[in-house]
Structure 1
Amino acid sequence: MVGSGGESMLTGSAAGGAGPVRFRERFLQGEPVETGVRSSILDSWRRSRDLGLSPDQSDLPFRADFEPDGPIVRAAAPVLDRLRSRFDGSEMNISVADANGTVLLRRFGKESLVRSLPAFQSVPGFVFAERVAGTNGIGLALAERQLIRVYGAEHFAERSQRSACRALPLRDLLSGRIEGVLCFGYPRDVEDPSLETVIRRAAAVIERRLLRQSSARERALLRAYLDAGAAAAADRRRLVGVDELAAELHPGQRAVLLEKAAELISRAQRGAVDVPLSGDRRITLVSHAMTGAGGVEGFAVEAVLCDHPPGATPAIPHQVHEPLDLSPAPTGAPVALLSSAAPADTTDDHHDSPSTARGLVLVGEPQVGAYALAARRRLELLSEAGTRIGTTLDVRRTARELAEIAVPRLADFVTVDLPEPVLRGEESTDPLHDLHRTVVHGIHDDHPFHPVGKRVEYGPATPQLRCLTSGRAVLEPDLRAASGPLAPDADHSARPLSRVHSLIAVPLVARGVVLGVASFHRAEDPAPFEDDDRSLAQELATRAALSIDNARRYTRERTMSLALQHNLLPQCLPDQDAVDVAHRYLPAESDVGGDWYDVIPLSGTRVGLFVGDVVGHGMLSAATMGRLRTAARSFAELDFPPDEVLTHLDNLVARLDREDPASDGAGIIGATCLYAVYDPTSQQCTMARAGHPPPALVTPDGTVSFPDLPAGPPLGLGGLPFEAAEIALPEDSRLVLYTDGLIEDRNRDVDEVLDRLRGALAHPGRTPEETCQAVLDTVAPAGPYDDIALLVARTHALDPHRIATWELPADPARVSDIRAAAMRQLTDWGLDEAAFATELMLSELVTNAIRHGTGPIQVRLLHDRTLVCEVSDTSDTAPHMRRAAITDEGGRGLFLVAQLSQSWGTRYTPQGKVIWAECELHGG
C-alpha cells in the first residue's frame, strides 16, 4: 500500500500493525529509528516528543469561540452530507477542521459511532493540532500541508492506535492559503484504495464552493457600483470603459493600470495615483469605498482621463444592464473584475464643462486586491530571477544571486548551505551532513546566523534536514510555535528565534543530485510565510539549483582543464646561461584556453623561446596545445631555423584539422606561434611568427620597441611561406613574448594597452620576475576573457675568452695542429680532465669534414656549462652513424663521438652545416 505523497507504508502494516507497533515502541524508549518509518511520520514523532507530549494523554483542548457558520462551514456542510450518504452504514467518520486544527463539522456513517466515541471525537470545538494532539491526521496534514495518511501505531497517542485516517488541506483558491482540513477516519483494519480519490474530489468541491462565495461578494460589490451610476450622472462627467480611454494603449501600460488599481484596492483606503501615457496623456486612478447589498465592504477603482488631445471626444458606451460574467476563476487565480464598460451617462447638456472621462477598472475587496498584486509581483520576481540567477559559471556567485533576488521582496534573510565537494565541482557523498555555510545575505549585516565558511550541522527535526530528506520545501509559518531546535546547534537556536519568526527551507536539487539547502527567513516583515511564498521559494531554488549544477559541472571541467593545462606546460625550466627567464600563465575567467610557452636549450649554447596560442577553450584546446608544444620542441631540437619550425608546425596543425571528424574538412583548430632563437656568442636573435603579436624588446637603457617582424599566416592555413628576421640584442636586453589575451580586450583600445605595456617594461633595473608581475598588475585585464601566457627573457653574452675559433683548409696534415691548439686552450681554461675525450672527438669530426665535406673548415670550442666542440664546413651533406662490420676499416668515428659526448648532432646554416658534440664537465 502506498501512502500519501508517494511514501511507502510502514513495514508490517498489512499484517496487523506489528511493524508500526515495534518501531513506535523503540522510538518511545529512546532507541534510534532511521528506517522502516515514513519520514513524515518520524518527523512528527520527533516534534511531538520535543513538545513534551505524552502518548497516554487523553484530553484535548476545547475552543468555544470557533465560528459555527463561517465560510468554510457553509462550503463544506453540503459536501459532508453527501459523503455521509455515500458511506451510510459504515464506520467512517468525516470531519472538517479550520486552519488551527479546531474541528468545525462532524458526520458519521453510523449514528451509533457517536455513542461509542469519546466526547472530544464526536462534537465540534476540540483541537487536533499536532502541538497538542501529537501525530494525527488533521495535525499532520496542517504540518505537512499535503494529503497524508496515518495508520494505527503511526498515531502518537495511545487512544488512536486502532484507527486510520486520511486528511487533506483545504485551500482558498484566491490566496492559496490553507483554510481548513478534510479528514476521513475509519477502523485500522478497513482499507479502501479509492478513498484517496474520494477525498481529493470532495476537497476540490469544497474549495470551489469557497471560491463561489468570494465571487458572490464580488458581484454584490459590482452591483453597488452599478447602482451608483446616478451619482456619476449627477457629476455630469462622461463615463467610458478602460478600452475607450486610450485606443492606442500599449499592453504594458494596460498591465501597469491593472497593477496600480490592485494596489489601490489592497490599501483599503481612498486614494489616487497618476499613470502617464504616450502622447503627453495621463490617467488618474481613483479608489473609493463601497458597500454591497449584503453588507460586503470593498473598493472600486475608476480611471479618469484628462487633457484630451484637441478635437478628441471620448466615446460613450451603451448602458450595462446586466452584471458581468463572474464565473469562478481557474484554480489559484485571483478574482479581480475588469470592466471595459461603465454605467451609462445621462445626456451631457453642459458642453462647456472640461472634457474628462471616467471608467471602471477594478472592483473588489482589499484582500483580493492584495492577492492580485502579490501574484503579479511574484511573476515579476520569477521573470527577473531568470535573468539575474546564473549570470556566471561560479557556484558561490550563483548561490549569492539566489539570495540577492529573494531579499527583500520574499525574505529578510537568506542562507545557502552547500557541501564542500559541490564548491569544488564534484558530487557530495553525504549531502545531508557535509554542509558548509556558503552565503548569508539579508536586509542588513547584523544577522544571527553562522558565518560563511563554517560547517553547519542540522538536527533531525530541523526544517532544513526534513526538506533534504523529503526533497520538498518545508514551511514553518510560526517558528515560535514549531517544535524542536530550528538552528544548526543548541547554542545558536535561541538567537535566530529572537530575530526570525518564519522560515522556508528548500532543497537545492538538480538532475537528481542534492546540491545543498536554501533557507528563507522573515524577521522584520511581520507577515508569516504562506504556501504561495513556499511555491515561489521552491521555484527560485529550482532555477538556482540548475544554475549551480551547471556551474558545478563547469567547475569540474575547468578544474580538469586547468590540471591538464598545468601538466602540459613546462613544469620547470631547463638550466642554461643564455637568458634569465620568468614566465606566467593566467587562465581566462570563463574557461581554460590553449596558450603555452617553452624554453629549449639548443646546440652551441643557444636557446629557443616559444610562445603560442591555440584557438578555443576547454579540454580540446588544452589537449591540442600539448600536442603542438611537443611537436614544436621536437622540431626545435632538430636545430631547424625558426621559419622552418613554423612550416613544420603549420603542416601539423593542418593535418590535425583534417583528422578531426568534427571539422568536416573546414579546419577548426588553428593556432598562432612566435619562435625566437637567441645566440649568446653573437648576441643575435632570429625570430619568426605565425599570426602572433610581435614581441616587445627592451634595451639596457630602458627603451621599449615592438620589432616589425613579418607577420606570417596563422598555423593551419598553409600555402604561404614564413619569414625570419634577425635582430641584435645587446647583453642585458629583455625580450618579452606574450599571447593576445594580454593586450586584446573587448572593452579596451589596443593602442592604449600597448602604451601601458611600454610603461610597465621601461624599467631596466627590474628582474624578469618583477617584470612579469608588473605587466600582469598594470596591463592584464581584470577577469580576462582569454587566457594569457607571458615570457620575459633577459639576455646574457658568452664571454669572448670562453670562445676559441680556428680556420683551416681541407688538408689532413693540419688535423694534428688543430688537436694541439685545442689542448692548449683546454689547459688555459683549466679543463685538462676533458682533454682526452675532446682530442678524440675533434680528430674524428675534423677528419670527417676534410674527407666528406668541402672547405674551408672552421673549428670552435665553447666553454659554458659544458664544453662544446663544433666543426663546420660548406657542405650540406649530413653524416649518419652506423654500426660498422668487423671487417670494415672505417665507419666507427661517429659511434666513438656518440660514446664520448653527452650529446651530438648536426645543424644547417646558410653557408653549410655544423657538426657539434657536447661534453659534460664534471668539475663544474
Structure 2
Amino acid sequence: MPIAWDDIGGLADAHERFLSGALVEADVRDSVLDSWKRCRIAGFEPDRMKAFPRASGLGPDSRLLRAAEPVLKGLSEVLADTGVTVVLCDGQGRMIQRLGGDRRLLQLLDGVRFSPGCDASEPVSGTNGVGTALAGRGPFYVVGREHFADCLQPFACAGAPVRNPLSGRVEGVVDLTCLRDHADPAMLRLAREAVRDIETRLLEQATQRERALLAAYRWAHRDAPGWSWPERTLSGQPGRSDQEAGHESAGLGRIDLALLREKAEALIASPQRTLDEVVLSGGRIATLRCCPVTGAAGESGVVVEARILGGLGPGLGAVGPGASAVPSRVSSAAAAVTIPSAVPPAPPPVAPKSDGTPLAALRTAVTAPPPAPATDEPYARVRTGTDGHSGGGDNGDGGGDGGWPLLVGETGVGRLAVQARRRLELLHEAGLRIGSTLDVARTAEELAEVTVPRFADFTAVDLPAAVLRGEEPEPFRVGAALRRVALGAVEENPPLYGVGEEIRFTPSAPQACSLDSRQSVLEPVLARAGGWFAQDPARGDRILAAGIHSLITVPLRARGATLGVVSFYRSGKPAPFEDDDLSLAQELAARAAICIDNARRYTREHNTALTLQRSLLPRGRPEQSAVEVAYRYLPAQAGVGGDWFDVIPLSGARVALVVGDVVGHGLHAAATMGRLRTAVQNFCSLDLPADDLLTHLDDLVSRLDRGEGWAVEPTYPDAGIIGATCLFAVYDPVTRRCTLTRAGHPQPAVVAPDGTVEFVDLPPGPPLGLGGMPFETVELELAEGSQLVLYTDGLIEKRSQDVDVGLDALRTVLACAGRAPEDTCEAVLDALLPARPGDDVALLVARINALGPEQVAQWDLSSDPTVVSGSRAAVTAQLAAWGLDDLAFSTELVASELVTNAIRYATGPVRLRLLRDRALVCEVSDGSSTSPRLRRARSEDEGGRGLFLVAQLTERWGTRYTTDGKVIWAEQPLP
C-alpha cells in the first residue's frame, strides 16, 4: 500500500493535488483514486457536501431484512464496546438500519445525517464505505481523508455488498463505521463474514414446494413410535422448534452443524448413496439417511434424517443457530436446505464456515430418488428402504427413535444454477487476479492461487525455459524439458514435482499427450494402469497414497503457440472431474495463457532493452591511478531506463567521473543514453573544461530534441529526449583538486576519511536541452582516502517520500570510516533500495588517491632559448633517478621540442613537468592560448617537424586549456 492508514497529512496533500489536476497515482490507493475520479466526473464538490442527503421511496426488502436482522444484531452485540456502528443499506445505497455505536460516534453520525433514510450512494455522497462498495461491486475500506467529501474525514468505514447467492444481484450493503482514530482494517473482514452469513440465510428461504415436502415428511412420521413433534405449525406459530431443542440437547456447535449440513448436501446430491456417518466433536458419531418423499400435489424430493448415537431423544431437531426463520430456498433446486425454525438465534458474526460457501458439497450429478407410491392418506408415507418401514420406525439407521429431519431438498436445475454461478464467479476472479504483473512466473503462480482450493486441490504449471526467457516457444517434442514454475496445493509437501524441478514427460503421460495433440486430457479416475503412472511409478504410488484421484491437463496456448501445460488434481474433493469441469479448466487455461504470453513478450522486449543498455554501459574499470572506483547499475522492475555512468582517464593522470539520467524507459531511453555517453567521451578527448563540456552536451541534446540528426519513426513523432540530467567531475591526483558541475542532477556526496558526510553545495543548473548555459563549477580539495559518491535520482527519490528523507537516509548509510568502495555500494543499495525498484539506479563510488612528490618533477623555465639544453639535462637526470633510462632519449627529445615551441611561439612563464604514473607524462605549459597544429612539412621547409616527431615518439599527445593558458602533453608507456 503506498501510504499508511494514519498518513492523513499525506492524503490531504494528495487530495488537494488531485483537485488541482495533478497526478497522485503513487500516493493514493488505486481503489480510492478510482472512486475520486468517478466523483469528479459526476461533478461532486467535496466542500459543498455538509451531510448525507435523504433518500426517497425507501421500501426495504423484507427478505433482506429477515436474513440480515439476526446477523447484524449479533454483530452489533459483539462490537458493543468497540465504538463501531453496524449499518444495513439496500441495493441503491439507502440506509435501512443502524445498530450500536457509542454516544460520541452517534452524535457525529447524526451531525452528517448518516442515519436510516439517508442516501449514501457514491454519485450523491462521494467516496464512502457504502456507496463505493456498490460502485466497485466489492468490499471497500476507506479511512479519513480518503473520503472525497470534507465532512466525512472524521470517520472510517468498511462496506461489503450482499449478493443474491443464485442470481448474483446485489441486494444490499453491510457497513461498519467508526471514528477515524479507531480505524482497523479488520472491520472489513467482519463485514465480509456478516455478508457471508446473510447470503447463506437468503439462500435458505424456501418455496411452498419445499414446505409441502416437509409437511409430507412430518405427516408420514405422525404415528411413528417414539416420535413427538413440537407444538408449532408449518406457518411458524409459537412453540419450540425441533431444531432448537436438538441443538440444546445435543450441544451441537456451529462447526458440527456445518459439517452435518455439508455431508447431508453431499448425500442428497449422490443418487447412489442413502446412508452416511459423520464424526463430530468429542468423538460422537452422527448417522445420516436420505429419504425420498412425495407431497400431496405430487412434489417429489428428499429429506435427510440425522441421528446422533446416544445424543438425542425422540422428536429433537438439530439445525441450531444457523437456521433460517422460514423454510430454505434453492429456487426449484437440487440443493440441500435447512429445516425451518420459529425464532432462530442470531449466528455469531465471525464463526468459521466449512469452506465459505453455503452449498459447497453439491458438486456431483444428481438423480432424483424415485418418489414413494401414492396412498389414500393426505400425504404419502416415506419409503426408506426395502423392508417397508417408514422413516418413523426404529430400524436403527437414523429414523424413528432419535432421528430428526435435518435437510430437505429437491433435484433439478438448482444445483446446476449454483454450480454455474460459482463457475462464473471463479472466471470473474480469474480475470481480475491473473495477469496483474508482466512476469511469467508470477502469472503462473496467480493461476495456481485462483484455482486452489475452489476448483482443484493441486494445480501445477509447467513451462519450457524459452518461455521464461521471453523467447518464442518451439513446437513441443516428446521428451523436451519443462520446468515447474508454480504449484498450488491445499497441503504442505505434496507428492508432486516441486517448483523449480525440471520435468521430461514420457509419451504416455497426460501432460505429454496434451502438449503433443494440443488438446485437453481428462482422467476422472487415476489408476496404476494409466499412462500418467508410467511417468514416475514411485511418485505415482505416493500420489495415490495421498488420495489424489482425478486429473485434468490443459495445454497453455495463445496466438497459435503452445507455451506449456497446466495440470489440475483433486484429492480432498470426493467428486471426480467431469466434462463441465473440463470446460471450466480450458477457459481458465485460455485466459492464463494470454496473460503468460503477454508477460513473455514483455520479458523479451525488456531483455532486449536491457541487453542494449548494458552493452552501452562501461565494461570493466579503465586503467588509471587517480581513484579506486566501484559502481552498480540496477534497472527498474517496470522497464529499462536511461541511467548511466562512466569513468574516463584524462591527460595529466587526471580522471573524469560522470553520472547521467535520461528520462523515460525502454529502448529509446537506452539508445539516447548511449549517444550521450559517447558524446561525453568525445568531448573529454578534447580536454574541455567541465563547464564547457556540459555546454556542448546541452547543445547536443537541444539539437536531438529538434530532430537534427535523429531519425524519428513516423509512428513515434515525439520520440525526442524528454529530459536528461548529468553530473560531471574532474579530479587531479597531483593537486588533489576536484572540479564539479551539474545539470539538474542530484548533488554528490563526499565522505571524509573519518566518516563525516557532506553533500557538495553545487549549483543545480537546468537539465540538459533547455539552453541553461553557462554552467557553474565548484572546485574543492579532497583529502586522500576520502570518497566521492555520485548517483542518480532513483536512489533517493520515491513517490511516497520527500527527497530530503532519501538524502538523510543516504547520509546515514555513508557515515562509515575506512570502508572500501565495493562495501559502500553494497551498503547503500541494501539500505535504500526496495526489492522491486520503480526507477533505474546508477551508483558510482570513487576513493581518492594522490600522486606523491616522488612521482612528480617540475621546472620553471625562462623564455631564454639557452634553457633548452638545461631542461634536457634535468629530464635525463630525473629519469635516471626513476630508473627509466630506456626512455631517456625519446623523453629528452620530446621535452626539447615542446620547450622550444613554447619559448618560440608562446608568451608568459614556461613550466616543464614530468609525471610517473601508469605512463610517463611530459607536460609543457605556457601563457598562450594558441593551439599547436600537427602538419606534414614539405621538403624545402625549415621547420614544422617538431610535433610530428613528438607524435611518432609518444603513444598519444594533445593540448588542454587552463585559465592561465594551455598545456601541451605527451605520454609514453613505461617499459
Same fold (TM over 0.5): yes
Question: How far apart are the structure 2 equivalents of 1:486 and 1:817?
Answer: 95
Q: Secondary structure at the match of 1:479?
A: coil
CA drift at 1:408 = 0.5
Match of 2:542 among 476, 495, 500: 495
CA drift of 1:718 comes to: 2.4
- Residue equivalent to 1:13: none
- Structure 2 match to 1:45: none
Letter in 2 for 1:400: E
For residues 285 and 366 of structure 1, what CA distance do their matches in structure 2 show?
23
Matched, 1:394 2:405: no
* Aligned CA distance change for structure 1 residues 610 and 301 (closer, same or farther; 3 Å): farther
The one of 404, 429, 451 equivalent to 2:449 is 404
Asked if structure 2 preserves the Cα contact closer than 8 Å seen for 1:271 and 1:286, the reply is no
Change (3 A) 1:301 1:376: farther
1:566 aligns with 2:614: yes
Q: In structure 2, which of residues 322, 327, 331 is the aligned counterpart of residue 287 of structure 1?
A: 327
Q: CA deviation at 1:819?
A: 2.5
Matched, 1:803 2:856: yes
2:804 aligned with 1:779: no
Is residue 2:864 matched to residue 1:864?
A: no
The alignment covers a number of residue pairs equal to 623
Q: Is the 8 A contact 2:647 2:655 kept in 1?
A: yes
For 2:75, the equivalent position in structure 1 comes to: none
Residue 861 of structure 1 deviates from its aligned partner by 1.7
Partner residue, 2:665 = 617
Write out aligned runs for 1:393-432 (5 A): 393-432=438-477
* Structure 2 residue identity aligned to 1:416: V
Contact 1:285 1:301 (8 Å CA) reproduced: no
* 1:553 aligned onto 2:601: yes
Aligned-residue offset at 1:536: 1.9
For residues 53-64 of structure 1, the aligned pairs below 5 Å read none
1:625 aligned partner, one-letter code: M
Give, as a single letter, the amino acid of the residue that structure 1 aligns with 2:951: A
The 5-angstrom pairing of residues 324-339 of structure 1 reads: none
Alignment root-mean-square deviation, CA: 3.9
Aligned position for 1:467: 514
Supply the distance in 2 between the matched residues of 1:595 and 1:297 (Cα, whole angstroms): 62
Alignment match, 2:650: 602
Residue 580 of structure 2 corresponds to residue 532 of structure 1: yes
CA–CA separation in structure 2 for the residues paired with 1:867 and 1:385 = 69
Structure 1 residue 679 corresponds to structure 2 residue 732 = yes
Give the residue type in structure 2 aligned to 1:472. Q
Q: 1:716 aligns with which of 746, 769, 775?
A: 769
CA deviation after TM superposition for structure 1 residue 680, in Å? 0.7
Kept in 2: contact 1:414–1:521 (CA 8 A): yes
In 2: Cα distance, 1:886 partner to 1:588 partner: 62
Q: Which amino acid aligns with 1:612?
A: G
Whether 1:846 and 2:899 are equivalent positions in the alignment is yes
| Aligned 8 A contact 1:672 1:692 in 2 | yes
* 1: CA distance, partners of 2:789 / 2:571: 58
Amino acid at match of 2:567: S
Matched residue of 1:411: which SS? coil
State the structure with more CA Rg. 1
CA shift for structure 1 position 607: 0.5
Q: Distance in 1 between matches of 2:335 and 2:563?
A: 49
Deviations 1:270-303 (A, max 9, x none): 999999xxxxxxx9763349999xx999869999
**Is the contact made by 1:291 and 1:298 (CA closer than 8 Å) also made in structure 2?**
no
Equivalence for 2:53 = none
Deviation of 1:457 (Å): 3.1
Deviations 1:175-222 (A, max 9, x none): xxxxxxxxxxxxxxxxxxxxxxxxxxxxxxxxxxxxxxxxxxx99779
Q: Which amino acid aligns with 1:490?
A: P
Task: Give, in angstroms, the shift of residue 797 of structure 1.
Answer: 1.2
The letter for the 2-side match of 1:394 is D
Report what 1:693 is aligned to: 746
Asked whether the 8 Å contact 2:914–2:922 carries over to 1, the reply is: yes
Distance in 1 between residues matched to 2:940 and 2:576, nearest whole Å: 104
Q: 2:419 aligns with which of 351, 370, 374?
A: 374
1:129 aligned partner:
none
Letter in 2 for 1:508: L
Q: Work out whether residues 411 and 522 of structure 1, in 8 Å CA contact, stay in contact via their aligned partners in 2.
A: yes
2:806 matched to 1:730? no
Q: How does 1:210-221 map to 2 (within 5 A)?
A: none
Contact residue 458 and residue 487 of structure 1 kept, 8 A: no
- Aligned residue in 2 for 1:19: none
Q: Which runs of 5+ in 2 are unaligned?
A: 1-165, 167-206, 219-232, 239-261, 270-301, 305-316, 345-364, 366-407
Query: CA offset at residue 526 of structure 1?
Result: 0.5
* Corresponding letter in the other structure for 2:464: P
Post-superposition offset of 1:553: 1.6
- Structure 1 residue runs without a partner (length 5+): 1-173, 175-217, 237-259, 276-282, 307-331, 333-362
Is 1:639 paired with 2:679? Answer: no
- TM-aligned CA deviation for residue 572 of structure 1: 1.5
Structure 1 match to 2:496:
449
**1:367–1:910: structure 2 CA closer, same or farther, 3 Å change rule?**
farther
Change (3 A) 1:546 1:274: farther
1:666: Cα distance to partner? 8.0
The share of aligned pairs that are identical, in percent, is 57
Q: 1:761 offset after TM fit, Å?
A: 1.6
Q: Which amino acid aligns with 1:865?
A: R
For residues 579 and 832 of structure 2, the distance between their equivalents in structure 1, rounded to whole angstroms, comes to 53
Matched residue, 1:581 = 629
Q: Using the TM superposition, give the Cα deviation of residue 602 of structure 1 relative to its aligned residue in structure 2, in angstroms.
A: 0.5
Query: How far apart, in 1, do the equivalents of 2:848 and 2:331 lie?
Result: 94
The CA deviation at 1:396 is: 1.6
Rounded to whole Å, the distance in 1 between the matches of 2:851 and 2:553 is 71
- For 2:51, the equivalent position in structure 1 comes to none
How far off its partner does 1:430 sit? Answer: 4.5
User: Displacement, 1:410?
Assistant: 0.5
Aligned partner of residue 648 in structure 2, secondary structure: strand
Contact 2:335–2:415 (Cα < 8 Å) also in 1? no
Give the structure 2 partner of residue 813 of structure 1.
866
Counterparts of 2:433 and 2:633, CA distance in 1? 31
| Paired letter, 1:442 | A
Select the residue among 651, 660, 666 that pairs with 2:699.
Answer: 651
C-alpha distance in 2, partners of 1:776/1:291?
Answer: 61
Distance 1:414-1:711 versus aligned 2 partners, 3 A rule: same
Letter in 1 for 2:937: A
Q: Tell me the residue number matched to 2:483.
A: 436
Distance in structure 1 (CA, Å) of the matches to 2:342 and 2:863:
112
TM-score, L = length of structure 2: 0.59
Describe the shift of the 1:222–1:510 C-alpha distance in structure 2 as closer, same or farther (beyond 3 A): farther
Partner of 1:385: 430
Distance 2:778 2:303 in 1: 84
Does the C-alpha gap of structure 1 residues 301 and 381 become closer, same or farther in structure 2, counting only changes over 3 Å? farther
The aligned amino acid for 2:517 is S
Q: Distance in 2 between matches of 1:560 and 1:666?
A: 19
In the alignment, what sits opposite 1:136?
A: none
Instruction: Answer yes or no: is the 8 Å Cα contact 1:658–1:665 preserved in 2.
Output: no
Q: Deviations over 1:649-693 (max 9, x none)?
A: 222222223323466468444221111100011111001111111
Task: Give secondary structure in 1 for the equivalent of 2:866.
Answer: helix
Paired letter, 1:845: L
Amino acid at match of 1:462: A
CA distance in structure 2 between the aligned counterparts of 1:597 and 1:553, rounded to whole angstroms: 29
Counterpart position of 1:9: none
How many angstroms apart in 1 are the aligned matches of 2:744 and 2:476? 49
**8 Å Cα contact 2:929-2:966 kept in structure 1:** yes
Distance in 2, Cα, partners of 1:271 & 1:692? 74
CA pair 453-719 structure 1, distance change in 2 beyond 3 A: closer
The answer as to whether partners of 1:298 and 1:366 remain within 8 angstroms in 2 is no
Tell me by how many angstroms 1:916 deviates: 0.9
The answer on 1:893 being equivalent to 2:946 is yes
Q: 1:914 to 1:226 in 2, by over 3 A?
A: farther
Q: Which amino acid aligns with 1:826?
A: L
2: CA distance between counterparts of 1:769 and 1:622?
Answer: 25
> Which piece of structure 1 moves more, 806-815 or 607-616?
806-815
Matched, 1:910 2:960: no
Match status 1:758 vs 2:811: yes
The amino acid across from 1:618 in the alignment is G
- CA change 1:635–1:290 in 2 (3 A) is closer
Q: Distance in 2 between matches of 1:647 and 1:697?
A: 25
The 8 Å contact of residues 765 and 772 in structure 2, kept in 1 or not, is answered as no
